[in-house]
Chains A and B, each alone.
Chain A
């Protein structure tokens, strides 16, 4: 008999995903070459759909947090909402990437397997309640991502990106582990809820914990890609095949958010005034650096990398507020961000074809004349990123700014606002080339129906959710309130 504290049922989605990943590997092995791609694609989408279904099943009704595996694993509102978002994001990534990868002969069993393992890692990250399981999830994701970036073996730039990613990622993991060991030394526990209890029970924060905290924040900043730990982001974004960039830029950010919340907002909640100051610096540097350097970019992927850095700075605004409202705002921000990123890289892949990457800003020249609909969709995505209403990105910015202002950081909000004007400048460049310039490319844009459909839904969702953002906002707030 299984001990009751194991509570296996709560981990059904993860267990199912692991099983299906093995099935995918077998199918890959035993399928004839001509049928392989279609089968893998179909199987992975079905798997993710079933995983999503089972997450939804566990999450309703939204109950108090439940633990499994003797407290290693936790199921709460935040975990469920993030997992759902992760699974959907991954499915979208696979749909967007199929044509791109298959044109480059990269759509293989390895790709699907790595994506699914990474997904498993992300799901564990957001559901972990113990430093060990947190770390395991993180590494499962990270190792899969390194391999994905390097999947295009013949490309020197991809290999370079993978190398950078791996070395800096390993360094970050080291920092994180070192910090965690300090916290373990001070509290004698690795379990998130126990650490939280011990810290909040003591008077004043143990200097050893603060010492560990510095390393933990440094490691998290590396993983999230916020300045001054952002060095790997532009190179990896530009160097990796666009499909991999899309993957790295989307779902893992959701997982990283959950990860940060578990460590900072949950385990180290008692040291909130200590990490708040660190996050303020990280946020300011990211917003300034990301937005200013993005202006000088001509490569769209690299520009989006810097834009990501600034977005992560905005994300921190909500977290550093240290309130449930702030956390909910950040969660809303990260989901919005993933939706926008998926759309933007999806558009790049839509315009690309075999031998043509479409990753320069100039490749978007005259898009409005080539296809008004795609230009309009890109316009939605870009204005949303710039935070112009009525698009969803505006509400995300509004929410985190409100969080930071409510916590008393008025000057930080003014700073953020000024930075977003700088941000608008380079976002406008994309709109400019799409609408104001004549096309240099006249090749018709071809894409499969499923990709066009999902991309259109993605782009129009930014407008529709922008007009009715209430549901998503409330869902985030409920999830956070049920978790903390």
Chain B
């Protein structure tokens, strides 16, 4: 391997080390030191992930930046890392989001500052580990360990019903992931003692076994995505989490669920995936249409965006299970794009919440009069969220619809309804919050966004626009990996 073979380890351990360091700066005098340590740590983490982009080879579907070291010889568990076109972008997206979260929490968080930033940094490292692990147990370890900081973030810095939301979040996710662990142990026995995920891709399995494994993995990842009807933890968690928590939840952890489909469900149980694709597509379409309608009825801004996330993630799973490259790439693009847009939406809501301390749509009105700069960004991201062409939101949805129409007109038709619904609920919210007359004194006293807020919203706006106008670099990265996966799924494991 070349000299950069520690790149993935760095993306995992730099944020974690920075997090531990930040945790130690917990004195009253050290508040600004903790902030700076967190910022420097997150920026270093982002820098550490840059070589993944520059050094990535688009022409191969094999794992790149591989690292392997024996870890627990008793069970043949290895510290094995690697990325391909399916996972690489998410490591960068996550490292990038972490920087935003640190900046967003800079002045807002006043209690237990060092713990807050430490939790985010440690979680960032663990999430990078989830995307980079090629050993099943290593993956599981990161996957579960990530719950701990998120649980604390929601529970300590969250809203009034934070405890309920935190516990619900934890237990829902744990139930799914433990079944996945049972599946891993089963596969370990089938493969005569291997926890290498790539071995699982190859091992032949009968259809019945595949279906059981499918169910075990599905329980884990469907909760994470989340798919209807196991989505109910998400609105609670989103609403109660602090802004930073909502951003990471929406932008990154939901993607882990979708990533799980690509890394585990489709390649390990291809035939079961085909057999059960109707089931998954049905759930996805219910999410897209029904949850879109639910979003329309929300009065709480965060809840509205949370439901919109579920609806958008329905697109992703739909794209994966129509088994063509447009659908799958569309799903992946949608994942990255949704990472930017949902992060931006939650940050926008956070900007308002920090000033007025209400998330109710009815508490606002005419914000544009007092916060013109903010209104510009809010409207822009709302447009992106409803899939306006030239923003990244359009690209993914359009590709998925194109892919779906090849398979079944009605799939595409139902999915396309969301373009209308998405525009309806997002723009209606914008109309009520941003435009109109000044509704009350709170709004009258609002101050426009400062340069710190301008910074993170501006960066996200550039990302959304860039991906919307020229998505080719993103699709190039994933193209070969997607094609290889589709071929693998098409061949199946039965013969």
A sample of 11 cross-chain residue pairs with beta-carbon separation below 8 angstroms, ordered by A number, consists of A394-B144, A398-B181, A402-B75, A405-B185, A414-B182, A417-B179, A424-B170, A435-B156, A470-B74, A473-B75, A477-B74
Q: Please determine whether A436 and B155 come into contact, CB atoms closer than 8 angstroms.
A: yes
CA distance A420 to B73 in the complex (A): 26
Residues of chain A with a CB closer than 8 A to B162's CB: 436
Kindly state whether residue B72 has any CB partner on chain A within 8 Å. yes
Q: Please determine whether A389 and B145 come into contact, CB atoms closer than 8 angstroms.
A: yes
Residue among A368, A406, A425 making CB contact with B167, cutoff 8 Å: A425
Residue among A368, A417, A428 making CB contact with B178, cutoff 8 Å: A417
Chain A interface (Cβ within 8 Å of chain B)?
Answer: 368, 372, 379, 383, 388-390, 394-395, 398-399, 401-402, 405-406, 410, 413-414, 417-418, 420-421, 424-425, 428, 431-432, 435-436, 469-470, 473-474, 477
Kindly state whether residue B87 has any CB partner on chain A within 8 Å. no
Residues of chain B with a CB closer than 8 A to A368's CB: 112, 115, 156
Residues of chain B with a CB closer than 8 A to A420's CB: 178
Given A435-B152, A477-B74, are A417 and B166 also a contact pair (CB < 8 Å)? no
Residues of chain A with a CB closer than 8 A to B75's CB: 398-399, 402, 473
Binary contact readout B439-464 vs A (1 if CB under 8 angstroms, 0 otherwise): 00000000000000000000000000
Chain A CB within 10 A, most for which of B137, B181, B189: B181
Chain B interface (Cβ within 8 Å of chain A)?
Answer: 26, 71-75, 112, 115, 137, 140-141, 144-145, 147-148, 151-152, 155-156, 162-163, 166-167, 170-171, 174-175, 178-179, 181-182, 185-186, 188-189
**Closest 4 pairs between A and B when the two form their complex, measured CB to CB:** A389-B141, A473-B74, A417-B178, A470-B72
CA distance A395 to B181 in the complex (A): 12
CB-nearest residue of chain B to A431: B151
Residue among B112, B137, B167, B181 making CB contact with A432, cutoff 8 Å: B167
Residue among B148, B155, B188 making CB contact with A388, cutoff 8 Å: B148
CA distance A399 to B73 in the complex (A): 13
Q: Please determine whether B178 and A388 come into contact, CB atoms closer than 8 angstroms.
A: no
Q: Please determine whether A474 and B115 come into contact, CB atoms closer than 8 angstroms.
A: no
CA distance A426 to B162 in the complex (A): 17
CB-nearest residue of chain A to B144: A389
Residues of chain B with a CB closer than 8 A to A372's CB: 26, 115
Residues of chain B with a CB closer than 8 A to A418's CB: 175, 178
Nearest CB of B to A130, in Å: 32
Chain B CB within 10 A, most for which of A379, A399, A413, A470: A470
Q: Please determine whether A390 and B170 come into contact, CB atoms closer than 8 angstroms.
A: no
Residues of chain B with a CB closer than 8 A to A390's CB: 141, 145
Q: Please determine whether B174 and A421 come into contact, CB atoms closer than 8 angstroms.
A: yes
Residues of chain A with a CB closer than 8 A to B182's CB: 401, 405, 410, 413-414, 417
Nearest CB of A to B240, in Å: 11
Q: Please determine whether B171 and A421 come into contact, CB atoms closer than 8 angstroms.
A: yes
Residues of chain A with a CB closer than 8 A to B174's CB: 388, 421, 424
Nearest CB of B to A108, in Å: 41
Chain B CB within 10 A, most for which of A389, A406, A417, A477: A389
Q: Please determine whether A388 and B185 come into contact, CB atoms closer than 8 angstroms.
A: no
Q: Please determine whether B181 and A470 come into contact, CB atoms closer than 8 angstroms.
A: no
Q: Please determine whether B155 and A432 come into contact, CB atoms closer than 8 angstroms.
A: yes
Residue among B140, B151, B166 making CB contact with A389, cutoff 8 Å: B140
Q: Please determine whether B167 and A428 come into contact, CB atoms closer than 8 angstroms.
A: yes
Residue among A398, A405, A436 making CB contact with B189, cutoff 8 Å: A405
Chain B CB within 10 A, most for which of A379, A402, A420: A402
CA distance A125 to B74 in the complex (A): 28
Residues of chain B with a CB closer than 8 A to A428's CB: 151, 167, 170-171
Residues of chain B with a CB closer than 8 A to A469's CB: 72
CA distance A111 to B253 in the complex (A): 52
CA distance A44 to B140 in the complex (A): 43
Residues of chain B with a CB closer than 8 A to A402's CB: 75, 185, 188-189
Given A406-B189, A470-B72, are A417 and B163 also a contact pair (CB < 8 Å)? no
Residues of chain A with a CB closer than 8 A to B115's CB: 368, 372
Nearest CB of B to A437, in Å: 8
Residues of chain A with a CB closer than 8 A to B181's CB: 398, 401, 417
Nearest CB of B to A255, in Å: 24
Residue among A410, A421, A424 making CB contact with B186, cutoff 8 Å: A410
Residues of chain A with a CB closer than 8 A to B178's CB: 417-418, 420-421
CB-nearest residue of chain B to A419: B178
Residues of chain A with a CB closer than 8 A to B26's CB: 372
CA distance A469 to B72 in the complex (A): 7
Nearest CB of A to B93, in Å: 24
CB-nearest residue of chain B to A401: B185
Nearest CB of B to A422, in Å: 9
Residues of chain B with a CB closer than 8 A to A394's CB: 141, 144
Q: Please determine whether B144 and A436 come into contact, CB atoms closer than 8 angstroms.
A: no
Residues of chain A with a CB closer than 8 A to B74's CB: 470, 473-474, 477
Residues of chain B with a CB closer than 8 A to A405's CB: 182, 185-186, 189
Residue among A388, A406, A435, A436 making CB contact with B145, cutoff 8 Å: A388
